[in-house]
Structure 1
Amino acid sequence: MTTAAYSSELPANAGWLTRSEAWLDSKGKGAWIAAMVLGFIFFWPVGLALLAYMIWSKKMFSKSCRHSKHASRRQAWSAMKPSGNTAFDAYKAETLRRLEEEQDAFEAFLERLRDAKDKSEFDQFMDEREKRATRETEEA
């Protein structure tokens, strides 16, 4: 991957840390390990910070650093841009609209289900409370 290739995937206002991460990702896991070792050699907190970041972001234990979040961003963007085929683009737009409607309907169903569960739990609580109050009055 060339410098232009990985930099074209980044936003125009990406900072130096983001550009450095993308560059190290493009070089692979070896580059991350080399940067960490050099960090330990020159200034140990930098090496420690890189080690912590590699473990936290799961770069240390993944198969490859090259297919990280930048690849998923690229895939998400390519799914949204038009294909050039108007019939397919219309079908895709209609399918996405239908899926959004189904998602909204499902979320509304889940909300009604939660409300019904909350109401039944509240009704059960009130019934138990009323039974307790009746028992306490009978005992007194």
Structure 2
Amino acid sequence: MTSYTSTAPQPSEQGWFSRSESWLDSKGKGAWIAAMVLGFVFFWPVGLALLFYMIWSKRMFSKSCSTRRKSWARHGMSAMTPSGNSAFDAYKADTLQRLEQEQHDFEAFLQRLRAAKDKSEFDEFMHERALQNDDEAIELDDEDDDDSSSRRSKRH
């Protein structure tokens, strides 16, 4: 005959700290941060203690945020997988192709717009340069006229 004795401890009532910790864990990292901020607002040592506890227990740098990023990446990649419905897959392929064509056309439009802007700025620069050269030429002519008249007056 075999006798069976239970060596596992009997479930006991959790303390307020354990219940609070599990409640905050169920709400996520935002709840921990909110509790820390409220702790700083009402009594700063409580906020500081929560901050140290979050760092010590690695709750501050948990993987919950990176998991969310990975799920978004998986969601974005699901657009490329076939759904199994051929009509929907054809519609999706046509829509994606149309959007790619629109993106290409828009990028070409932006390129033409930039080229036109560059050309107008260059034309404006050349016009200003031509005006500046004309002004310098007029000033040189005026100086030449002044020099020649002063030479004439010296001769006479």
TM-score, normalised via structure 1 length: 0.56
Give the Cα–Cα distance (whole angstroms) in 1 for the partners of residues 55 and 138 of structure 2.
78
Q: Does 1:78 align with 2:68?
A: no
| Mean CA deviation greater in 70-79 or 86-95 | 70-79
Equivalent residue number for residue 94 of structure 1: 94
Deviation per CA, 1:111-137, whole angstroms, max 9, x where unpaired? 000000000000000000000000011
Instruction: Tell whether the 8 Å contact from 1:82 to 1:89 is kept in structure 2 after alignment.
Output: yes
Equivalent residue number for residue 112 of structure 2: 112
Q: Whose relative contact order is higher, 1 or 2, with alpha carbons under 8 Å and at least 6 apart?
A: 1
Give the Cα–Cα distance (whole angstroms) in 2 for the partners of residues 101 and 68 of structure 1.
31
Give the Cα–Cα distance (whole angstroms) in 2 for the partners of residues 100 and 28 of structure 1.
39
Identity %: 54
Instruction: Tell whether the 8 Å contact from 1:28 to 1:66 is kept in structure 2 after alignment.
Output: no
Equivalent residue number for residue 135 of structure 2: 135
Aligned length, in residue pairs: 95
Give the Cα–Cα distance (whole angstroms) in 1 for the partners of residues 134 and 82 of structure 2.
69
The residue identity in structure 1 corresponding to 2:68 is S
Give the Cα–Cα distance (whole angstroms) in 1 for the partners of residues 28 and 80 of structure 2.
28
Give the Cα–Cα distance (whole angstroms) in 2 for the partners of residues 95 and 122 of structure 1.
40
- Tell me how large the CA RMSD over aligned residues is: 3.4
Cα deviation, residue 71, structure 1: 2.1
Structure 2: give runs of 5+ residues left out of the alignment. 1-26, 33-50, 141-156
The residue identity in structure 1 corresponding to 2:55 is V
